Amino acid sequence: MTIFDSLDLLGTAAFAISGALFAINKRMDPFGVFIIAFVTAVGGGTIRDMLIGRSPVTWMGDLTYIYVIFIAVVLAIIFRKKISYLSKSLFLFDTIGLGIFTIIGTEIGIQNNLHPIISISLGMITATFGGVIRDTLSNEIPLIFHKEIYATACIIGSVTYLALNKFNINQDVIHILTTLIVIAVRLIAVRFKLQLPTFYSKPKVSK
């Protein structure tokens, strides 16, 4: 198993735990917890594979992903009471998944000889659209549409990944380094409350 494969499974587990904790917060039953965890873990990758014409999509061709998701959900349920700060744990696992899947999606774009801009888009889709599906199913506004630094962190990581690929650097080092960059950007943005501007303006009150 390559570092690429290991990161893929780690990202799947991280997003599955993130989705499970999210569903637990919403007081869903076990079936609901599994479904939300599942779509969070594989939703972005499924959309990516459909866009590039990969058939069957990754998780359908390898049951390891199903096993990883199932184990992650069971662990999240069992240890939910031992997690002191559920919201912080949710954020942590979501951020780890975001970093890993960004680079995986970008790499798959490169492997399919797609334009760098398309590869960056695939990285962002892989990392964020599982969360979009999760939030939509839970009747929440998807996080990607908020003013938080979320998709922007993915773009920064993808661009860095493409830039480093121009140099003679070990591929495993590039994977790990750029994954950590995405995670770091996201953590710094939340820590210092960095946000993108919005275009909302309060309506004038007529006298």
**For residues 61-90, average pLDDT:** 86
39 pLDDT band, cuts 50/70/90, is very high
DSSP letters spanning 8-46: HHHHHHHHHHHHHHHHHHTT--HHHHHHHHHHHHHHHHH
Rounded (5°) CA angle 89-35-58: 95
Given a contact cutoff of 8 angstroms between Cβ atoms, the answer to whether 161 and 87 are in contact is: no
pTM as predicted:
0.91
Per-residue pLDDT of 156-191, as tens digits, reads: 999 999 999 999 999 999 999 999 999 999 999 999
Domain ranges of the chain: 3-191
Residue type, 186: R
Q: Count CB atoms within 10 A of the CB of residue 131.
A: 25
Q: What is the pLDDT of residue 148?
A: 74
pLDDT of residue 83: 65
pLDDT bin (cut points 50, 70, 90) of residue 193 is: confident
The pLDDT confidence band at residue 195, using thresholds 50, 70 and 90, is confident
Q: Count other Cβ atoms within 10 Å, centred on residue 43.
A: 23
Is the pLDDT confidence value at 72 over 80? yes
List pLDDT tens digits, range 12-37: 999 999 999 999 999 999 999 999 99
Taking the C-alpha atoms of residue 92 and residue 69, their distance in angstroms, rounded to an integer, is: 17
Q: What's the CA gap between 79 and 102, in Å, rounded?
A: 28
